[in-house]
Amino acid sequence: MTYHTYWSVAEVPAVYIQSKQVALVVFLVSVVCWFAVKKWMTKSKDDTRGVLLWGLGAFGGFSLIGFILLVFVIKEKKSDMVNVLMHAPNVCVVEGRIKDFHRDYHYSRGRKVQTIESFSVDSVQLGYSDALFGRFYSFSKTYNSEIIDGRQVRITYRKGGSHQHQYNFILKIEVAEDW
């Protein structure tokens, strides 16, 4: 059976956005803003233009220093951490059909705060949520059409971990193309 990767922890923004890229973008935006202020803002009595130029210059200078440090001195290890996570001894792979799909809603002060979807594959309990802060570094595509009862999947997971250790932590979801 052939599978395609539906989601993987190696593809989330927290892994593939590098700090040096962010520092470079901040530097370039600072330079563009500095030139825009220099060209189009007129001098005023309270010297707002001077304060903006100095502030943007300092901000751009610090982001340039950060970029240089991140490129030549500090090496990011996010991809190494993901490889270690994917090949840890407590990582398992389960293959089979999704059973017992269930969606729970958690409320706070009368408002829906979080949706947790859970299911089992070959008696392994798995789950994920759409928590606000979890979206950047976890699986959070609730209400999707891929994770449904009867769907053939292969899931790489870490034993224990997510949602107060109630479910196993999903690292990769592969969905069968012909199910």
Class of residue 85 by CB neighbours under 10 A (exposed 0-12, middle 13-18, buried 19+):
middle
User: In the block, which residue shows the tokens 């409320």?
Assistant: 107
**Residues of the chain with pLDDT > 90: what percent?**
42
Of 107 and 72, the one with more pLDDT? 72
Which pLDDT score is estimated for 168? 85
Contact residues for 135 (Cβ-Cβ < 8 A; gap 6+) = none
| pLDDT-based confidence at residue 111 (cuts at 50, 70, 90) | confident
What are the structure tokens assigned to 81, written together?
């951490």
Q: Minimum mean pLDDT among 17-26, 87-96, 114-123, 165-174: which range?
A: 165-174
Task: Say how far apart CA 160 and CA 90 lie, in whole Å.
Answer: 9
pTM attached to this predicted model: 0.67
| Residue 47 CA to its chain's centroid (Å) | 42
Task: Say how far apart CA 58 and CA 32 lie, in whole Å.
Answer: 14
Contact residues for 92 (Cβ-Cβ < 8 A; gap 6+) = 124, 156, 157, 158, 159
Task: Say how far apart CA 148 and CA 125 lie, in whole Å.
Answer: 14
Whether residue 135 is predicted with pLDDT greater than 80 in this model: the reply is: no
Q: Minimum mean pLDDT among 97-101, 102-106, 127-131: which range?
A: 127-131
Whether residue 83 is predicted with pLDDT greater than 90 in this model: the reply is: no
> Options 1.20.58, 2.60.40, 2.40.50, 2.60.120; which CATH number does 3-10+82-176 get?
2.40.50
Mean pLDDT score, 71-85? 82
Mean pLDDT score, 34-41? 92
3-state helix/strand/coil string of 74-139: CCCCHHHHHHHHHCCCCEEEEEEEEEEEEEEEEEECCEEEEEEEEEEECCEEEEEECCCHHHHCCC
Which pLDDT score is estimated for 141? 55
Which pLDDT score is estimated for 136? 45
